[in-house]
Structure 1
């Protein structure tokens, strides 16, 4: 953008004069000399990566002309540029002005087109049209005709420093005073930063005289311009988790997850084709509600400032051959993706496609902390095993993929009799130990094979080897699962309220078993000692008849040893908490 903040801000539509002369218009016999004084060109941005490492090409398009011994200056097209392509500035101005509100063209009898443009105020200021407008079109035209410009110089921005606030940084280069076209040619692009659009930048200041005219002075004063690029940082979160590429999120079967793809609003001319695509590849074990897709712009505080309309602003597409079913007026996409963040995802995709017309009306949201957010809901199905992953990328950066990772875990224990022989046929159920704290969603299904027709969705039966498994569980360090024996093996009585609780820490760091008078009123649950590996077990006694409840060690007593095993993670430390230290 044309950084004439000082040069044009007060006279955007008025003639500018220097010592009685329009800028750049010298008297008939005045030759003047080109000022070669050095000036600093300071580029600013909200993040260091928008400056450091950016390689800029620059071409001087406007010389400052000093007349005599005075401090009066004029502006003329750079002599090298005029010599190489005499009409380039005129052609660029006419192209930029042809569709503008002024519809002016450079008069044929003008001696210097750049001086004329400045004096007529036809170049809009940086704040009026940062991403569009006459000046933007003027700069773009010049960049598209780089071969007609003098050979550019190059400079790489580095050592960006804070400019008085936590979100303002600056880096500068030093050049002879004048007006320059800057072009960002950084390749490959800096991580999480776009290349800047072409910029017109000048040094010097303008002072207003007593006769309401303006004079260009102090031509070496610092040129201050906001870098015309923006953050391309992206993230993928689940249920509002703000951690990029989270590895700590866990989920249960039957749970509804909200996936949020945080991207950015790109320049329309950086979008190939007619659309911008947000593409996601959900892993097998997810069923996506396509009617839940939302597209919004949020500010730096995460608050929605505008929302897109489905159909007119964006479309939701699935790749050919995808399984999409309609139920209760909603369309459901059954995911079949395979892979993970280390290998990449393959499978059918969901594409949220935004039109260029939508992007055009959102150009004011480029940068400045705004983000374009696409979200949808998905249910974790019985196909989910140890994890459900999801991959997302934007079509502007197809190689920059982001992942959302959710872990599901399994809890396994074994039932044996007094001699250690596996005991089959005992049925257990799992639920939240506190109904006010949701651990298992209503749609939870234990998909493990040790179940039969008598089992509910949250139940399991000990198999021939005595093993009982509950899988598809989320891990939560603060909320306990309650496991209750709802049917004893044949020949044993089922005791009401006989249960124990289990806490599974986030990411499977540890498992804590416990019981109390409420869950074990009969005194049949006993903790064993912790072994040298930090593992332990829990003993639950069953009886043939109520008359045997006070007894211990009788022939009618069977034992169930509960051995904690978190199958989906490694390095589990099992800690048992019990109110008793010895078997009753």
Structure 2
């Protein structure tokens, strides 16, 4: 077989073209080889931003022939003279030795040497011996000779003295159709300036231009991704599932659950180090969850689960310390300003480096990386006593935010591109009690109360508030006695009680002991409600816009709201003559007084009989 014929077969195999027509002599030549063609670069999805590519022309296709159906079935590959040295430099040492022994392709004269012809015929083949094609397998896989060469060529072209791009700057190739290009094989390098929205850069591409008789040539669909990071509040269910939260308020001491979601980047063609010892080749994929000091997190308990869900197939649960690691670190430093809402908080990092680097023992080491799969992380925190507390006219949010770090440059995987995610706040509430005499002029210390969650709270309905400790509220199943410590709230010298760190809902306030010098007959007992107004954001991302306190209709007339709506004013009667004469309290007073008269008359009658 002569050199020319071998090069024809080489070109056909490289681009997936049948060559049987050559052997039986039924090919017909182009009237003249085309001089131009186009390359269309398609986005992987409509939401992807435009990308720019520097382009180097590698080789032309000459002596193109067609079969009886007008389909291309053969051609010569003619490497560009100015690209020969760079293409040879991008070969592995073994490839270079073999190339220099092959007289069909090798020459010391760049005008004669044909390294691209050699590569497509001898090197770019899969395990079965079939030549790989940038058309039928445009990305080649991490380990393919084609992909390895493209990466190596990209590095050679970045060196000083390498050939300059034929298309760069204003003339660079863009996503969409690029017309009037010199026909043949092109090398494309993504030079898009990355920012928070543009995602990963494409790996280097080798592709032919369009040719009449080859319908699929000259079209490439990008495989790069634009990972985002999302965060929302979720509620834990008894069956182990989670649903989006619709009202983001909690009592201090409650567990707060967040769902973080992202996408495993497409890392095909990126450098990788399964030992994770070489930082320059170790891929980065981290989720950073930042909590204000109002939220307590622990590295041992903060992560409930990490799952990957592919577009098709079954979700995979990743294993801590095999597929990912978790660290918790303090936020900021001594220079962090007091105005920073996260000062004193913590950053939880979920590092999936083991998974995306196929580290030993990881699921990806045996099953491969689920590129494009949805990553779902459930984070658990606890609302603590540092929480900012809201009341009417003074709304305070406790923020929590997330960001994503990932490698987005094929040849600089240690470059961590950061994408910010949403901030999700949570809220807690408070109310005050002010105890006075009936005139409202004397503030009364020593009055004792209990507070019961009646309805509408997240998880505490039917429970009495207990003590308010470092871990937040404790709860009691039954009403505490006057002599108890937990769950009994006593007015101070100023006649006030502050009850803080509550969930929204309806509560019952019951006075169980009056101040000294005031009657214990028919003590006040009434209900009030903490009502938030929830914003119209999507479930899981809700905010509170207003909070209000309100007394239940028909409440004890001794209870009223202060003008600013923040305080429950409650007055005490010194004796039964000051008790309300209507409503439940008045009825209780009448029954109580009537019982005294009955008892007194019974005693008088008994004494009278004894005297008789």
Q: TM-score, normalised by structure 2?
A: 0.63
The residue that corresponds to 1:513 in the other structure is: 550
Distance 1:473 1:454 in 2: 24
Confirm whether residue 235 of structure 1 aligns to residue 233 of structure 2. no
The residue that corresponds to 1:58 in the other structure is: 55
Deviates more, 1:480-489 or 1:106-115: 106-115
- Which of 85, 109, 130 aligns to 2:103? It is 109
Secondary structure (helix, strand or coil) at the match of 1:407 reads: coil
The residue that corresponds to 1:376 in the other structure is: 379
CA displacement, residues 28-87 of structure 1 (integer Å, 9 cap, x when unaligned): xx9996522332413122242x232x22212222423254899657555564xx312425
Q: CA shift at 1:301, angstroms?
A: 7.8
The residue that corresponds to 1:312 in the other structure is: 322
Confirm whether residue 286 of structure 1 aligns to residue 295 of structure 2. yes
The residue that corresponds to 1:35 in the other structure is: 34
Q: Which runs of 5+ in 1 are unaligned?
A: 1-7, 99-103, 161-169, 206-216, 323-332, 557-584
CA displacement, residues 491-547 of structure 1 (integer Å, 9 cap, x when unaligned): 232747812121321425142413256xx5xx535768x98x9x6987655434567
Secondary structure (helix, strand or coil) at the match of 1:230 reads: coil
The residue that corresponds to 1:418 in the other structure is: 438
- Which of 74, 82, 89 aligns to 1:84? It is 82
CA displacement, residues 447-500 of structure 1 (integer Å, 9 cap, x when unaligned): 79xxxx97866664333333332222234xxx4333333433232327478121
Listed as ranges, the matches of 1:397-476 within 5 Å are: 397=416, 399-402=418-421, 403-421=423-441, 422-434=443-455, 438=459, 446=468, 460-475=489-504
Q: CA shift at 1:194, angstroms?
A: 1.8
Secondary structure (helix, strand or coil) at the match of 1:136 reads: helix
Tell me, yes or no, if the aligned pair for 2:465 and 2:487 is still in contact at 8 Å.
no
Distance 2:199 2:20 in 1: 40
Q: CA shift at 1:256, angstroms?
A: 0.7
Confirm whether residue 256 of structure 1 aligns to residue 250 of structure 2. no
Secondary structure (helix, strand or coil) at the match of 2:271 reads: helix
- Which of 523, 526, 538 aligns to 1:499? It is 526
Secondary structure (helix, strand or coil) at the match of 1:239 reads: strand
Q: TM-score, normalised by structure 1?
A: 0.65
Tell me, yes or no, if the aligned pair for 1:117 and 1:123 is still in contact at 8 Å.
no
- Which of 137, 144, 161 aligns to 2:148? It is 137
Distance 1:19 1:482 in 2: 92
Secondary structure (helix, strand or coil) at the match of 2:154 reads: helix
The residue that corresponds to 1:487 in the other structure is: 513
The residue that corresponds to 1:193 in the other structure is: 199
The residue that corresponds to 1:551 in the other structure is: 581
Distance 2:54 2:465 in 1: 59
Secondary structure (helix, strand or coil) at the match of 1:145 reads: helix
Q: CA shift at 1:382, angstroms?
A: 2.3
CA displacement, residues 548-571 of structure 1 (integer Å, 9 cap, x when unaligned): 655379xx9xxxxxxxxxxxxxxx
Secondary structure (helix, strand or coil) at the match of 1:291 reads: coil
Secondary structure (helix, strand or coil) at the match of 1:151 reads: coil
CA displacement, residues 88-108 of structure 1 (integer Å, 9 cap, x when unaligned): 44554657989xxxxx97972
How many residues align? The count is 481
Secondary structure (helix, strand or coil) at the match of 1:20 reads: helix
Tell me, yes or no, if the aligned pair for 2:190 and 2:204 is still in contact at 8 Å.
yes
Distance 2:298 2:309 in 1: 26
The residue that corresponds to 1:153 in the other structure is: 167
Distance 1:380 1:416 in 2: 33
Q: CA shift at 1:154, angstroms?
A: 3.2
Q: CA shift at 1:122, angstroms?
A: 3.4
The residue that corresponds to 1:4 in the other structure is: none
Distance 1:359 1:465 in 2: 64
Q: CA shift at 1:285, angstroms?
A: 3.2
Provide closer, same or farther for how the CA distance between residues 498 and 16 of structure 1 changes in structure 2, counting only shifts above 3 A: same
More strand by share: 1
Tell me, yes or no, if the aligned pair for 1:488 and 1:494 is still in contact at 8 Å.
no
Deviates more, 1:374-383 or 1:112-121: 112-121
Provide closer, same or farther for how the CA distance between residues 272 and 86 of structure 1 changes in structure 2, counting only shifts above 3 A: closer
Q: CA shift at 1:254, angstroms?
A: 0.9
Distance 2:309 2:251 in 1: 32
Tell me, yes or no, if the aligned pair for 1:55 and 1:157 is still in contact at 8 Å.
no
- Which of 11, 20, 23 aligns to 2:22? It is 20
CA displacement, residues 205-233 of structure 1 (integer Å, 9 cap, x when unaligned): 7xxxxxxxxxxx43576733221311221
More helix by share: 2
Q: CA shift at 1:255, angstroms?
A: 0.6
Distance 1:318 1:142 in 2: 41
Tell me, yes or no, if the aligned pair for 1:297 and 1:373 is still in contact at 8 Å.
yes
Distance 2:291 2:513 in 1: 39
Tell me, yes or no, if the aligned pair for 2:296 and 2:384 is still in contact at 8 Å.
yes
Distance 2:311 2:510 in 1: 45
Tell me, yes or no, if the aligned pair for 1:279 and 1:393 is still in contact at 8 Å.
yes
The residue that corresponds to 2:361 in the other structure is: none
Tell me, yes or no, if the aligned pair for 1:337 and 1:345 is still in contact at 8 Å.
no
Q: CA shift at 1:20, angstroms?
A: 1.1
